[in-house]
Amino acid sequence: MIEFSHVYKTYSGTVHALKNINLNIKKGEFVFLTGPSGAGKTTLFRMISAYDRPCSGHVQVGNYKLNEISAKEIPTLRRSIGVVYQDFKLLKAKTIFENVALPLEVRGEGETVIRKKVNEILDRVGLVYKKGKCPDFLSGGEQQRVVIARALVHQPGVLIADEPTGNLDPHLSEEIMDLLENINAQGTTVLIATHDHNLVKRRNKRLVTIKDGELSEGAA
Ligand SMILES: Nc1ncnc2c1ncn2[C@@H]1O[C@H](COP(=O)(O)OP(=O)(O)OP(=O)(O)O)[C@@H](O)[C@H]1O
Ligand SMILES: [Mg+2]
């Protein structure tokens, strides 16, 4: 489903962000990616959705070989992936419903489909009853659940979440992880980058570690 083969990424000729990355993630897997700040986690994620290209090596996501992907195919690739960005913010002037509806509106979906899909996904994250509120009226954990709903509203096969619990206390972080496990149990492939070793330790999931751009299976 997601395959990295001998992938290298160097920025500005001197910053070796990824070094010989080999990684194979199967459909339906749940994988934690951990490693210190600057290790290359976000760089690796950006490659999966073709925001960055390898300097050498190959990346394949589903049927797409990302070294060869055409500009025309990129939107279709991105539709198959839901992304929770590291510093993602909700639009404060819009309601929860409107925030979650946005990716569907951008894709030109009709109002009936939007209403159905947004209500379904808000129900899955337990926030239908807050759909008319603006983000400032929600707790940090609730806001992060909205961000996850927004990443999932177009029903992608893969969810990648970059530090989805970065700003949350331990209790809320566990709640978000429960939600992500639940989403995975329903068939979505889930890949999560996190600094939080305690969070990873408590869950019996595949763990890959990246350090100075080099990847290894298991804890560092
Ligand atoms: N656009 C860029 N230009 C130059 N260097 C970059 C760029 N993006 C990332 N880097 C460098 O590549 C390395 C890996 O960065 P990356 O953002 O992938 O780390 P990370 O593991 O996500 O860190 P964090 O946990 O702090 O988010 C770092 O040394 C970073 O400074
Ligand atoms: Mg990062």
Tens of pLDDT, residue by residue over 56-83, are 999 999 999 999 899 999 999 999 999 9
Taking Cα atoms as reference points, which of 167, 163, 123, 180 lies closest to residue 141?
Answer: 167
Q: Which residue has the higher pLDDT, 219 or 205?
A: 205
Q: Which atom of ligand 1 is nearest to the CA of 39?
A: 21
Mutate to test the pocket of ligand 1, among 8, 9, 11, 87 (most ligand atoms within 8 A of CB): 11
Per-residue confidence band for 100, with pLDDT thresholds at 50, 70 and 90: very high
Contact 41, 64 (CB under 8 A): no
Which whole number is the average pLDDT over 85-92? Answer: 84
Q: State residue 195's pLDDT score.
A: 86
**pLDDT at residue 107 tops 90:** no
CA distance 58 to 21: 9
pLDDT tens column, 122-142: 998 999 999 999 999 998 889
Q: State residue 205's pLDDT score.
A: 94
How do the domains of the chain map onto residue ranges? 89-155
Kindly report the protein residue whose alpha carbon is nearest to atom 29 of ligand 1: 38
CA distance 142 to 126: 9
pLDDT tens column, 147-187: 999 999 999 999 999 999 887 888 888 988 999 999 999 99
Q: State residue 70's pLDDT score.
A: 92
Pairing of strands 56-61, 64-65: antiparallel
Q: Which atom of ligand 1 is nearest to the CA of 210?
A: 21
CA distance 190 to 25: 9
Kindly report the protein residue whose alpha carbon is nearest to atom 16 of ligand 1: 40
**pLDDT at residue 88 tops 80:** no
Looking at all shown ligands, the one closest to residue 44's CA atom is: 1
Q: Which atom of ligand 1 is nearest to the CA of 9?
A: 12
Looking at all shown ligands, the one closest to residue 43's CA atom is: 1
Q: From the CB of 12, is ligand 1 less than 6 Å away?
A: yes
Q: Is 183 helix (H, G, I), strand (E, B) or coil?
A: helix
Kindly report the protein residue whose alpha carbon is nearest to atom 19 of ligand 1: 38
33-59: b or e for each residue (b if 16 or more CB lie within 10 Å)?
A: bbbeeebbbbbbbbbbbbebebeebeb
What is the residue-averaged pLDDT of the chain? 92
Q: State residue 89's pLDDT score.
A: 82
Which whole number is the average pLDDT over 78-93? Answer: 88
How far is ligand 1, taken at its centre, from the CA of residue 17, in Å? 7
| Amino acid symbol at 117 | K
**pLDDT at residue 86 tops 80:** no
Q: Read off the DSSP letter of residue 122.
A: H
Helix (H) or strand (E) holding 96: helix 96-106
Q: State residue 172's pLDDT score.
A: 85
Kindly report the protein residue whose alpha carbon is nearest to atom 12 of ligand 1: 17
- The tokens describing 46, both together, are 């950006």
Which whole number is the average pLDDT over 11-39? Answer: 93
Which residues touch 155 (CB under 8 Å, ≥6 apart)?
117
Kindly report the protein residue whose alpha carbon is nearest to atom 31 of ligand 1: 38
